[in-house]
Every structure is written in structure tokens, then in C-alpha cells.
A = this chain, B = another copy of it.
Amino acid sequence: MKLELTKTCYKFFSMMANPTRIAVLENLRRSPMSVKQLAEALQQEQSMVSHNLSPLVRCRFINVERKGKKRIYSLNSETIEALFSIVENHSRKYCPTMGHCIGRRGR
């Protein structure tokens, strides 16, 4: 029961611990987008974007919906917005001095 939570958290945070996936989530905050739109916005290959989208869907961090030949991805705001706001709060409150913390170019 305790190990379960550790495992769950580990999967959860591993999913978030990737710059491409984070950038995807940030873009989807604004509005739902197709794979192509995301690839353009992130300046990344379509293949790479797709590779990162599927695990995000599996974890229900985002949702998909077919629209013709496109697939439109949208955010699970409840979880993701809450996460972002914790990060912002932490970095504002606990990492005010650059270079020694999460905030900016540390370690």
C-alpha cells in the first residue's frame, strides 16, 4: 500500500520529467491542437511529438479526439494547471536566488 504510492508517484513524475512533454502541455494550455500544429509550435519533428503524445494520453494528462484525418489533443486542466501552479509557487517562494535552486540554471 505504501509501495503502491511510491510507484504511482514515480510514473506520474517521470511522465512530467521531459522538456518536450512539458512544452506540449504548456501549448495545450492555450487551446487544443493537432499534432502538426504542436510540431510547428515546438519546432520539433512530428515523429517525436507523436512519441511523446501517446504516453500523455495513456496517463490521462491529455485527451484526444479524431477530426477528419487530424487528431486534436487537449489538456486535462484539472491536474495540469494545479501542477503548474505548485511549480510556480515553489520557485517564486523558495528559489528566489538564481543558480542555487530549481528556479534557474542551478547545479
Contacts and interface: CB of A to CB of B under 8 A. Distances in A.
A48 to B, nearest CB: 15
B15 A102 contact: yes
A26 B6 contact: yes
B8 A104 contact: yes
Nearest to A18: B10
A17 B10 contact: yes
Interface in A81-107: 82-84, 86-91, 93-95, 100-107
A84 B26 contact: no
A86 B94 contact: no
Interface of A: 2, 4-19, 22-23, 26, 55, 58-60, 76, 78-79, 82-84, 86-91, 93-95, 100-107
